[in-house]
Structures are given as structure tokens and as C-alpha cells.
Structure 1
Amino acid sequence: MRLSLILAGVSAAGLTLPALAQTTPPATPAPAPAGLAPAAQPTETLREAMVKAYRTNPDLTAERANLRADDENVPIARSRGLPGVSSTGSYNENLYDTDDSGVSPPRQGSVGVNLSVPVFSGGAVRNSVRAAETRVEAGRAGLRSVESQLFTDVVSAYLDVLRDEATVRLNQQNVRALDVNLQATRDRFEVGDLTRTDVAQSEARLALAQSQLRGAEAQLIASRENYIRVVGTAPGELASPPPLVGLPASPDQAVAAALEENPLLEGTRKAREASAYDVRVARAARLPTVSVGVGGDYYNRFGSIPGPGRTAGLQNDGFATSAGISLSLPLFQGGRPAAQVRQAQARESAAIEQVTSAERNVIAQTRSAFAIYQSALRVIESSRVAVEANRLSLEGVRAENSVGTRTILDILNAEQELLNSQVQLVTAERDAYVAGFAVLAAMGRAEAEDLGLDGGPLYDPVANYDRVRGSLSDWRDDPTPEAEATRTVNTPAQNPDVSGPVDPQPR
């Protein structure tokens, strides 16, 4: 199950994802946050934000480049076991020689070609290639992990903006209500129905509400700027996110899936496999190496052979060829091979421990995210009850105040309690959605694969590997690197403007 199944339950804003077959029935979908729905007509969906981030986020494009660099380690390792061809050229001018017999020519030039073919290297080449290939697989898992983390960041940034917009609207509504209360309190004070204390209490509570609104607006600006950092563009009117499906029924189910599919854990396991090949490469330094060499030279003396030399039969030019087998058997290297083997073994030991560490982290993160998700669902239930209860309480307190059984302070306190419960509700809805997505990410089910993005195919990490693995050219460079990610320097500074109230019922 991939992201196309995770973000199901398409919203009215047009969040459409390709339908894929499910091998197992998903758990009951988590509802989309109702309190986070924008008031205005939405112009951007969560899926569209993910598409933008997938195309233009610099962290992801940099990780792709790192993987392409890892791909090159395979042809580099293979090249050590392939034939090598070199050419040589020289020109010598004999200026003065006290032992000159008058036979040797004073000048000579030569051009040669040499071919060397490694025959046996103790397994160093074979194991180096295997280690490089395994590290490429680890790099692909790392790229999947970066993709998963990026989508998690997009979800968090997206929901942060929705939460903070709702919080600003709630605080704006609270300020308006308190301003009306203050005007009514002043009017009643003028006719002697209330005291100066009642007016002061209303003024103080309005000032506090205004300061809370300023803080909420600052937080909204920060969330919008963070959205720009992750997605690459400013948020428009964001649509309510669709429900999450495929969530596990228990933490044990989530952990079992995470241990099988978590990309970070898979990458750590591949790194451990590669370290075992490194030990074999180090051991090969103690074994003999065999190579076969063939060479050919053309020489020319430029007509400089003296008379005695010509009489002796020296030719002005000619060819010389040679062939041979080279065997190198190390007998003593000062302990270096053993040190290299022990070093590789120590690194393999570290890689083994890192797998255990990664496994612990994955288990802890998965269980924690699941616990946060479950807790947030409970908070949502309680907060909805609290909102309705506080709304009824506020209406009752106002009615009782009109007949003199409640004070202005009682109304102000009821207003504040209603605001607090509303803010707690939208915060819990945000926390539940982000935590639910984090659970899916830990399970390896929040990646770009099978997302079906519009505007082009997904990035294929295998394509570059296939392109370079068998390359034998010494002159096949890639084009000069250019930036792929988009810059945000021209994005205007964000403001706290929001549209429409989040609470349809008047206060």
C-alpha cells in the first residue's frame, strides 16, 4: 500500500488519486479534520502540495544526486578488473658522452602501446563490486526514506497552516465578541446597571484576547513560511485533507510492518551486508596477484646513425614487441594487511550494531506515533464534547446575566473556556492526522512509489545505474550540474490574513 491508498477519501476540492488493488483490507479510515476546513474556496490540495515538494524540494534532489554518485562506485570497482591500455612516447638527444663509441645514434624517438590484463587479484575486484552494488541498494533505501520524511514534513506543514488559520479565526471571533461585550458593558455602566469594575474586567479581557490574537497571527506567519520552505510555494486556500486509510489496528501490527518495510532500516541492513564484502576485500591484500602484459613500440633514430653504426647493421627505425606474465606474491608488508582486515571487521561490527540501533529507533518511533495518534483521537472526542458544552454554558451564562444571577466576569470566563476548547479541538485534529501519517511513514507506506503524480513520471533511481554501470568510456562526462530545486527568494513575505469564521455558529 502506497501513498495513493493512504490519501484516499478524496475531498470535494478534487484530490483524486489512482485506485490500486489492496491485498489486505485497511483499518477504518481516520476522518479528515473537520475543524481545519478552510472557509474560502480551496485552491490547493494536500496532494498538489506533495507533488510540488516531490519535484522541487532541494533535500530530495540532493539525495538523488548523492545516489547517482553512489552508482558510480560500481563502474569504478569494476574498472580494477578490466584490461588497461596505455601509450608512451619519448624523444632523446645525446648531447655528450665520454664513452661514446661512435656506434650509438645521438637521437632517438619512440612510440609504444601497452596492454595489461589483470587475471587474479585474490577476489578484491569481485568483492569490491559486490560491496558497491550493495551500497547502491542501501542508497536507494535511503532515497525512499528521504521521500517518506519529505511527505511527512509536507503533511505537517500543511496541517500546521490549517490549524493556525483556524486558531487565528477563532481568536478574531473572540476579539469581536469581547469587543461587543465591552460596548454593552459600557452602555450598562452609563445607565448605572453595572459598576466600573465590570468595565475594567471587560477591558482587561479584550486586551488579553488581542494579545493572544497577535501571537496566533505570528504563529500563522511562521507556519506559512515553513510551508514555503518545504513545498517551495506560498500556500493558497488549502483544502481539508482527505482521510487516512490503511492505518494499523494495533501498535504490534504497525511495528511488524515497519520491521519489514521501513526504508531506513532496510538501508542500514544493506550497509551491514556491504561491510562484510569490505572484509573480504581487505583479506585479498595478502593473496598473490597475476596479470598479463603485451606491449609494442615503434622507434625512429631520425637518420642519426653514424657510419660505424650503419656498418654494424643498426636500422634507422623499427618495431619492438613484448609479452609477459607478472606474478606478485606478498611475503611481508609490515602488518598492514592484518590491520586492514581488523579495521574492516570492526566496521562490520559497527554496522551490525547500527542495524540494532535503527531497529530500536523504528520500533520506538512507530509505537510513539501510534500512541500519539490514539491519544489525539481521544482528545478530539473530548474536545468536541467540551466545545458543545462550553457553547451551551456561554448561552446559559448570558441568559442568567440578563436576569442578574450572573456577573460580567462569568460571561468572560465562559467566553475564554469556549475559545480554549475550540483551539484544543483544531490542535488535536492536526496532531491526530500528522501522527497517523507518521505511523504510515514508519511502516514504509508513505513513499512516492505508485503515487501517480501528474506532470511526468516518478524519479527512477535505477535508470542512472543502468546507464553508468557498463560504461567503459574514459571521456563520458555528464553535463555541468545545474540547480533542480526552486528558490524561494522571490516569494513575498507572508501575512496573517485569513478569510471567514471557522465557527459557523454565532457567539
Structure 2
Amino acid sequence: MPKSVLTPIAAALTLFIGTAHAENLAEVFNAAVKNDPQFLAAQSRRDAAQENITQARATLLPQITGTVSASRTENTSSGTQILGGVPFPSAENTTTTDAESLSLSLNQQIYHHDTWINLSQTEKRVEQAELSLKGEAQNLVTRVAQAYFDVLAAQDGVEFSSAELEAVGKQLEQTNQRFQVGLIAITDVHEAQARYDQTQANLIAAQNTLDNAWEALRQITGQYYQDISSLNPKFPMSKPDPASADDWIRVAGENNLTLQSQRLAVDIARQEIKRNFAGHLPTLDLSASYTDSSSDGDNETATGTSQFDNQGENYRVGVTLTIPIFSGLRTSSQTTQAEHNFEVSTQDLERTHRQVIRDSKSAYLGLNASVSSVRALEQAEVSAQSALEATQAGFDVGTRTIVDVLQATSNLFQAKRNLQRARYDYVLNTLRLKAAAGTITEQDIMTVNSWLQP
């Protein structure tokens, strides 16, 4: 099997993988390169497309066939003569013939304009298959990263829900104690119990989300994992470089693989017009054949037996010029149809170009927003922690209610979730921007891997 376009990536990542118990992104990606059905199918499609070049060239090469035959024929004849009204049987004659023949034939296209166009189209389709494989390789980077950080986000959900449940449980216990000594009303106990029950339900839902996230990762890699490395909260963040959205759009216009493939589709559609128009053009073919035949046998008659032996050779060389005169307007209709399909491909190219611009700008804006969001949410977490402490202190002296404490607790853990999700979004938006621009490489996986906890 031809080497994968990601073989160098896998080799580089193998050197990068450490010996920690928790699997890191490099290890997970290495497994995906070997096991992801979507990526492996793209490799096979590319390999299958390459065979079409050999098949297209075959019609331009001589077509040679050989035939060998051998046969035996036995013919027996007899008759009756009528002389004076009296039948007289004639002698029986038997002829036995053994025949052998060998023939070779050669046919060679001299001028078929559509065949050469078809070869050029096939080569461009193979280029499309190569681009598709490279696109799947880039897509694999983002799919693995998305699945990996979805697991981390789901783990955070379970962790924060567990911590929140523990905190709310302590608040429920504290509320019951205060109710027992008559410091608060029963309604506060009910409020705390309701929040505890809701938090418990949230934990169950978070665990289910985590199970599904693990399964999504297994779908890509074909493996189950016990644990994966988490993101270091101190990982470096920066604005996009280059800093201009227009620069990213320009890079995407040059490097985006989907856009390159669609440009090839326009070229193929343009050639399809010429290929169909070639149906109006004459064709010229060369043909040659050689036949060597022999036959021998016996002829038995009433007067005796005679033998015969015949040998023969035949050579033929010729050219055939075929001139289309009228095909019921089929060729003209096919040419017109190809012109319409060319217009379709042109519009598809424009649609793809606009989509690439949109994706590039969206990823650029998303990355910028992620940087700002992380910084804002880091402060929001600090503020939520301070708010909880102040609310708890107010509850202790009777100026705040248990509802206020429960809400402040919920706000704190939601701030923690939002902060972690924003960090993951920064990483993913970094990869999405490079993917939209068509510049994502194995180095990006290794860079992100260096941002994980050792």
C-alpha cells in the first residue's frame, strides 16, 4: 500500500510521545492515523483513483490479441444412382480433416482527440483525490483535537458537578442544623434540598456526557482510554499571526485544499466540453493481422485412400478513417449539456470561495474572541469566588439567605466551567483558523501537545 501522507507525522509524533500513564494528544492522534476509518477510506480512494490513469492510457496503446484453434472434421457421404429405374447404391466416401490456425491482430488508435482529453481529465481527477486525502489529513487533526478536548470538557463537567454537589451538601447540612435550633425557616431547608437534588441530577447528566465523549474519541481512534492529559492552565495564548483577517483570507485563497479541488473541477468541466465536441471530429485507426493456417487429412473412397496437406498464411495491414456525418444531434446535445455543467462548476467554485472566506474570517474572529474571553473569565472566576465568600459571610451573620449562598455557589462553578471551555475553544479555534487557511500541519499537533500537563 502506498505510504500515507501522514506517515511523517506519525513518525514525528512517535518520538514526541512520552511514557506518562495518561495518554496525550500526540498518542491519541497517532492511533487515529492508523485506525480512523474515514482517513483510511480516503487513502484507498486515492489509490483507486490512481489506477484510472493506467486504464485511460490503455486505450492509447496497441491492442494485441492472439487466437489459436485446432479442430477435426469427419465427413461421410453416400448416395444412390438410378439406372433404368433400378437403384444402385454408390460407394461410401469418408473425409477426415485436421485443421490448425494461429492468428494475431493489432489495433492502434492514431487519432482520437477525445481519448487524449479523457487522459488529461483522469490525471486531474487523481490530483483531486490527492487533495482530498490531504484534506482528510488536515481534517483528522481538527477532529481528533475536537474529540480530545470534548473529553476534557466533559471530565471538567463531572469534576465541577461533584465539587458543587459536595459544597451544596455541606450547605444543606448546615441549613438543617440551623433549622433545628430555630435560626431559619423550613423553606430554607427546602430550598437547599431542591438545589442539592438538582445538582445531583446535573452530575448524572455530566457523567453521561463524559461517557459519550469517550465513545466519540474511540470512534476515531479505535481504542478505549482510561485517562488523557489535561490542559495546562498556564499555556501560552496569543492573537492570530498575521494579525489581519485579510491576510488570513489571502492565505486561504492560495492554500485551502477544498478551493484547489474545486478549481480542478472547473478545469475538468471545461475539458468535458471539448471531449464531447470531439464527437464531431474524424478518427483514424491502424489495424494489422496475421494468420497462419494448416489442414491435413485422409479421403477414403471405394477406389482407395488419398491424403492431403494444405498450408496458408495471410497478412493484412490497413487504416480506417471514420468521419461522423450525423448522429441524431446526440453529440451536439452532449456538448451543450457539458457547457451547462461547466457553468455549474463555475458557480460551485464561487460558492466554495465565499465559504472559505467566511470560514477563515469566522475562525479568525473566534480566535480573537477566545483570547479576550479567557482573560475575562479568569477575572470572572476570581470575582465569583469572592462573591461566594462574601455571601457565605453574610449568611453567617443573617444578612443573606441560603438561596443567595446556593446561587453564589452555582455561579462559581459555572464560572469555572466557562473558563475551562474558553481555554479549550482557544486551542480549537487556533487549529480551525489554520485548517481554514490550509496551513495546518503535524507541528500544530505537537505544539498543542506541549500545552498539556506532563
> TM-score, normalising length from structure 1?
0.74
CA shift, 1:315, in A, is 4.7
CA shift, 1:107, in A, is 6.2
Q: In the alignment, which residue of structure 2 is the partner of 1:192? A: 182
CA shift, 1:164, in A, is 1.1
| Aligned residue type for 1:151 | V
Aligned-pair Cα RMSD in Å: 3.1
Please tell me whether the aligned partners of residues 14 and 30 of structure 2 are also in contact (alpha carbons under 8 angstroms).
no
Does 1:286 pair with 2:280? yes
Which segments of 5 or more consecutive residues in structure 1 lack a partner in the other structure?
Answer: 7-12, 18-40, 308-312, 453-501, 503-507
CA shift, 1:426, in A, is 1.5
Structure 2 residue aligned with 1:79, among 39, 58, 62? 58
CA shift, 1:69, in A, is 1.4
CA distance in 2, matches of 1:96, 1:107: 15
Determine which structure has the larger helix proportion and give its number.
Answer: 2
CA shift, 1:137, in A, is 0.9
CA distance in 1, matches of 2:263, 2:156: 44
CA shift, 1:367, in A, is 1.4
Change (3 A) 1:244 1:446: farther
Q: In the alignment, which residue of structure 1 is the partner of 2:160? A: 170
Change (3 A) 1:130 1:268: same
Structure 1 residue aligned with 2:405, among 404, 407, 411? 411
What whole-Å deviation, never above 9, does each CA across 1:193-243 have from its counterpart, x for those lacking one? 222222211111111111111111111111111111122222343224575
CA distance in 1, matches of 2:388, 2:293: 106
CA distance in 1, matches of 2:247, 2:367: 15
SS in 1 for 2:103: strand
Structure 1 residue aligned with 2:130, among 140, 144, 154? 140
SS in 1 for 2:345: helix
Q: In the TM superposition, what are the counterparts of 1:420-499 in structure 2 within 5 Å?
A: 420-447=414-441
Q: In the alignment, which residue of structure 2 is the partner of 1:66? A: 45
Once the two structures are aligned, what percentage of the paired residues are identical?
Answer: 26
Q: In the alignment, which residue of structure 2 is the partner of 1:114? A: 105
Structure 2 residue aligned with 1:383, among 374, 377, 384? 377
Please tell me whether the aligned partners of residues 86 and 114 of structure 1 are also in contact (alpha carbons under 8 angstroms).
yes
Number of residues of Structure 1 aligned to a counterpart in Structure 2 = 411
What whole-Å deviation, never above 9, does each CA across 1:31-58 have from its counterpart, x for those lacking one? xxxxxxxxxx762221222221112111
Which segments of 5 or more consecutive residues in structure 2 lack a partner in the other structure?
Answer: 79-92, 302-306, 447-452
> TM-score, normalising length from structure 2?
0.82
Please tell me whether the aligned partners of residues 26 and 445 of structure 2 are also in contact (alpha carbons under 8 angstroms).
no
331-340 vs 64-73, greater mean Cα deviation: 331-340
CA distance in 2, matches of 1:316, 1:451: 79
CA distance in 1, matches of 2:443, 2:299: 74
CA shift, 1:86, in A, is 0.6
Please tell me whether the aligned partners of residues 431 and 444 of structure 2 are also in contact (alpha carbons under 8 angstroms).
no
Q: In the TM superposition, what are the counterparts of 1:42-441 in structure 2 within 5 Å?
A: 43-90=22-69, 91=71, 93=73, 108-121=99-112, 123-240=113-230, 247-303=241-297, 315-441=309-435
Determine which structure has the larger strand proportion and give its number.
Answer: 2
Q: Quick one: higher RCO (CA 8 Å, sep 6+), 1 or 2?
A: 1
Please tell me whether the aligned partners of residues 297 and 308 of structure 2 are also in contact (alpha carbons under 8 angstroms).
no
Please tell me whether the aligned partners of residues 42 and 236 of structure 1 are also in contact (alpha carbons under 8 angstroms).
no
144-153 vs 87-96, greater mean Cα deviation: 87-96
Please tell me whether the aligned partners of residues 164 and 220 of structure 1 are also in contact (alpha carbons under 8 angstroms).
yes
| Aligned residue type for 1:407 | T
SS in 1 for 2:438: coil
